[in-house]
Amino acid sequence: MGLEVHHFPFTGGCRIFSRRPWRVFIGIAILDNFPFAASPYKKVRFMGRRKRNQRVLVSMSGGLDSTMAAVLLKEDGWEVIGAHMQLYDVDRVRPSGCCSPKDAEDAGTMARLMGIPFHIFDFRDAFTREVIVPFVESYRSGRTPNPCVLCNDRMKFRLLRSRALELGAPYIATGHYARIAHCPDRGRHLLLKGVDRRKDQSYFLFTLTQDQAGSTLFPLGGRTKEGVRAKARQMGLPIWEKDESQEICFIPDADYRIFVDDMAGGSARPGQIVDLEGNVLGCHQGISRFTVGQRRGLGIASNEPYYVVRLEEDSNRVVVGCRGNLSHSGLLASGVNWIAGSPPEVSEKVMVKIRYRSKEISAILESVNGCATRVRFVKPAGAVTPGQAAVFYREDEVLGGGWIEQGL
């Protein structure tokens, strides 16, 4: 673990070949300035703009965003080190998937062109233990996991950060579209949404602690995806038109069901599909093949469509109902992390997001008991899915988040 596979000790500015060669020197400040967008929070200072000439380790996946994060920090005067995380065996990876061998090659090429040191760290054992195993266990217990949150928390903000400190870098940076600001009045670091609302990734970052927030940079948080891509194209970077991965990076052929069955040794238990009254409507080949809200693939003939309402691990049953049965008046979340260090006041109105692509739901904070939080929706909401993240917002600020245990 932590094996250094490649290292390119280039230094200084490096010219990148382009149709406009007179504009594209990295390490010489010829990058256009993208000013940070105005924040609705007064008296805050955004991280990453006033601490130049310090060392930062940038997580470089080989894609556009992480590459541009490194480019912009180098242009801003930081001493940048690039790092790529090898997370799983290559025979499990889609050829063009995120963190594939081609991505590692692209990351190394970009680091070499920028003239920065570059490391590949072998985190395969840790990734299997901290991300893949919980992913498989969650599905097998009838929950729908979010591995991206675990990867950010355990691989980037813990393990990669420890490697950064070993390399003398007090900061790490990623290509996430989110912002971190320091509020002197509160004496706290704040996690804020990215300016580009279509790309905002603050949902995946709710596990950040104050210590981690104070040593993490998100150079793209005040920029739009279109602007970042346009800048990369203008500079002639070969990854400017590289597509984004939309699937779970470690799932071959984007079929998690086969992956879970293989990892579990084919030990899925067949069971019953029942309605809310317990009437048997059909059979299933394992509850890991279903998720709350699912309509297709149930194998049930009926005049009205059925939806998965809940999954019962103990009885190994898939419970289905009509669309209206998916509605809930609130949720209970566990493992809640309050980024600011303390929860909001009980009865405070917050916004909660229960899936990355879902709209925020207006809710009232009913109770906080340790790491367990109960919220009541102002209006009923559908498909509250155990295992997914519930993230709480106040305007642009991420207050915290946790894992959905059940809908109420």
Encode pLDDT of 70-92 as tens digits. 999 999 999 999 999 999 876 65
Contact in structure between 113 and 13 (CB atoms under 8 Å): no
pLDDT of amino acid 18 = 29
pLDDT of amino acid 19 = 30
Exposure pattern of 279-318 as b/e (b: 16+ CB <10 Å)? eebeebebbbbbbbbbeeebeeeeeeebbbbbbeeeebbb
pLDDT of amino acid 335 = 95
Catalytic site residue from 151, 183, 283, 322:
151
249 is catalytic: yes
Give me the percent of the chain exceeding a pLDDT of 90: 68
Exposure pattern of 13-39 as b/e (b: 16+ CB <10 Å)? ebebeeeeeeebbbbeeebeebebeeb
Contact in structure between 236 and 19 (CB atoms under 8 Å): yes
Model confidence at 316: pLDDT above 50:
yes
Q: Are strands 361-369 and 349-353 parallel, antiparallel or unpaired?
A: antiparallel
Catalytic site residue from 148, 183, 249, 283:
249
183 is catalytic: no
Q: How confident is the model at residue 47 (pLDDT cuts 50, 70, 90)?
A: low
Beta strands in 176-314 (DSSP E): 178-183, 188-193, 216-217, 271-274, 280-284, 307-312
Coil, helix or strand for 401?
strand
Model confidence at 251: pLDDT above 90:
no
pLDDT of amino acid 186 = 83
More confident residue, 248 or 324: 324
Model confidence at 12: pLDDT above 60:
no
Which residue reads 């790490």 in tokens?
Answer: 172
Can you list the domains of the chain with their CATH numbers?
14-252 (3.40.50.620), 268-321 (2.30.30.280), 326-407 (2.40.30.10)
Model confidence at 397: pLDDT above 90:
yes
Instruction: Give pTM, 2 decimals.
Output: 0.84
- Residue 330, CB half-sphere, CA atoms under 13 Å: how many? 16
pLDDT of amino acid 51 = 57
pLDDT of amino acid 92 = 57
What is the mean predicted confidence (pLDDT) over 118-140?
95
